[in-house]
């Protein structure tokens, strides 16, 4: 709430631990994390918000969700945010995004971009991710 009052767009990071994913609890964990938005329902769209799905098991480990896992999880997050917050928002993927996987992740439906961590510290790497994002956007628009 303080971020909105200060004119900022908050980024709410959510994600599950590996053990929770392996037990099939991902949706339950994410739903619980997103429940905080119920106190700030915004069907009129006056509060800018971005969600970053950042699986804890991928942060700094070099492991990343497959594009299929990212797509399915993002679809759930979009539905849950619509239900709890009153409207849909951007949902970024943030689990070990690298030049090698950025395009495959961002071209998936529901993946609206990337929250880049360590790869943003190297200019060449970050530039490659930006180029991958541009290609993914073009594919989503049906361009070549």
pLDDT tens, position by position, 21-40? 999 999 999 999 999 999 88
Q: Give me 14's structure tokens.
A: 């959510």
How many domains does the structure of the chain reveal?
1
Report field, pTM of the whole predicted structure over 0.75: yes
What CATH number did the domain enclosing 21 receive? 3.20.20.70
Chain-centre distance for alpha carbon 96: 12
Closest to 2 in 3D by CA, of 40, 31, 55:
40
CA distance linking residue 40 with residue 36, whole number of Å: 8
The pLDDT-based confidence of 143 (bands split at 50, 70, 90) is low
* Residue 77 lies in domain: 2-140
First to last CA, the chain: 41
Per-residue pLDDT tens over the stretch 69-83: 999 999 999 999 999
Non-local CB neighbours of 33 within 8 Å, separated by 6+ positions: 14, 15
CB contact at 8 A, 85 and 44: no
């Amino acid at each position: 709430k303080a971020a909105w009052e200060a004119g900022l767009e908050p980024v709410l990071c959510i994600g599950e631990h590996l053990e929770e994913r392996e037990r099939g609890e991902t949706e339950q964990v994410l739903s619980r994390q997103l429940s905080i938005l119920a106190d700030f329902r915004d069907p009129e769209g006056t509060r800018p918000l971005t969600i970053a799905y950042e699986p804890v098991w991928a942060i700094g480990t070099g492991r990343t969700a497959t594009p299929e896992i990212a797509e399915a999880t993002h679809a759930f997050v979009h539905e849950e945010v619509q239900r709890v917050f009153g409207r849909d928002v951007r949902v970024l993927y943030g689990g070990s995004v690298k030049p090698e996987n950025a395009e495959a992740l961002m071209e998936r439906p529901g993946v609206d971009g990337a929250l880049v961590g360590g790869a943003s510290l190297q200019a060449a790497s970050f530039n490659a991710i930006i180029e991958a994002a541009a290609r993914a956007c073009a594919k989503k628009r049906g361009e070549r």
